[in-house]
Amino acid sequence: MKTIALIPAYNEESRIAASVRDARSFVDGVVVVDDCSVDRTGEVARAAGAIVLRHVINRGQGAALQTATEYALDALNADALVHFDADGQMVAREIPMMLEPILSGEADVVLGSRFLGRATNMPFTRRMANRLARLFTLAISGIALTDTHNGFRALSRKAARELTVTLDRMAHASQILDLVKVRRLRYVERPVTITYSEETLAKSPSSFRAFGIVKDILKDKFFTRI
Ligand SMILES: Nc1nc2c(ncn2[C@@H]2O[C@H](COP(=O)(O)OP(=O)(O)O)[C@@H](O)[C@H]2O)c(=O)[nH]1
Ligand SMILES: [Mg+2]
């Protein structure tokens, strides 16, 4: 089974090398999508051993994951994919545990959960935002999870084909869950560790972006499909 890690990255030159190197120990290849970073993210990722694709404009994390998915399936012929972050908040040692249900055929999609695992230094406001997101996801998509916005996932080839992400920015996480339900894919949650440092918190500063995410989801769900 060929396993590929997909890493969307935007202005991560100081953190991407370690993320790529760590992930490479646990998969057969790493695809980084440098989303028109203004720093040296792409060059650093390539030097660390990743295949680097670059968007000519900044399109967002969802779009970057979709670009990486298509490349991994079509050009690399991947059997299983892992979504991983560029910024060091995730633990690469947990990749085999995330892939295991896919490789054994137990599930089509594995969703990381920091609430089954460990969320180190997670601010109170983010915990509360995540609670609301759980309720929101249950109401909108009918899927009950302990952590609805965790970017650490593993997918089978079949699931990756069916989960086409069209929401370019952060709402892709909700769209993936919606599609898991609609396509009746078999999913499991697994405990993962997410670490919050001052650096990563400064980079994506506010829980307010949740409002933008909710707007994108509602628009997609109730308006664009009419
Ligand atoms: N390709 C791409 N990646 C992004 C963008 N914004 C964030 N990311 C990446 O997506 C991952 C998660 O983003 P981050 O801002 O850390 O979100 P958080 O950890 O969920 O709060 C990191 O690897 C970022 O580099 C973007 O506009 N484009
Ligand atoms: Mg992060």
Domain ranges of the chain: 3-222
Quote the pLDDT of residue 226: 47
Residues flanking ligand 1, CB < 6 Å: 8-10, 12, 33, 35, 58, 60-61, 64, 85-87, 89, 151, 200, 203-204
Residue with tokens 């994919």: 81
CA 200 – ligand 1 centroid, Å:
10
What does CATH list as the number for 3-222?
3.90.550.10
Token pair of 10, please?
Answer: 């935007």
CA 146 – ligand 2 centroid, Å:
19
Among 167, 151, 165, 170, which residue's Cα sits nearest to residue 211? 170
87/102 Cα distance (integer angstroms): 25
Quote the pLDDT of residue 213: 78
Atom of ligand 1 nearest to the CA of 151: 20
110/102 Cα distance (integer angstroms): 7
CA 1 – ligand 2 centroid, Å:
29
**Nearest ligand to residue 16 Cα:** 1
**What residues have CB less than 8 Å from 80, skipping those under 6 apart?**
1, 2, 3, 4, 99, 102, 103, 154, 155, 156, 157
**Nearest ligand to residue 197 Cα:** 2
pLDDT average, residue stretch 19-38:
98
pLDDT average, residue stretch 4-12:
98
CA 141 – ligand 1 centroid, Å:
23
Residue 225 has pLDDT above 60, yes or no: no
**What residues have CB less than 8 Å from 20, skipping those under 6 apart?**
7, 30, 32, 45, 48, 49, 50
At 195, which helix (H) or strand (E)? strand 187-195
pLDDT digits (tens, 9 = 90+) for 95-117: 999 999 999 999 999 999 999 98
Atom of ligand 1 nearest to the CA of 12: 25
Atom of ligand 1 nearest to the CA of 204: 15
pLDDT average, residue stretch 128-156:
93
**Nearest ligand to residue 7 Cα:** 1
> What three-state secondary structure class fits 137?
helix
- Largest Cα–Cα separation, the chain: 46
Average pLDDT of the chain to the nearest whole number: 93
CA 152 – ligand 1 centroid, Å:
12
Given ligand 1 and candidates 57, 66, 87, which is best to mutate, with the most ligand atoms within 8 Å of its CB?
Answer: 87
CA 9 – ligand 1 centroid, Å:
6
Quote the pLDDT of residue 119: 86
Residue 165's Cα: distance from chain center in Å? Answer: 11
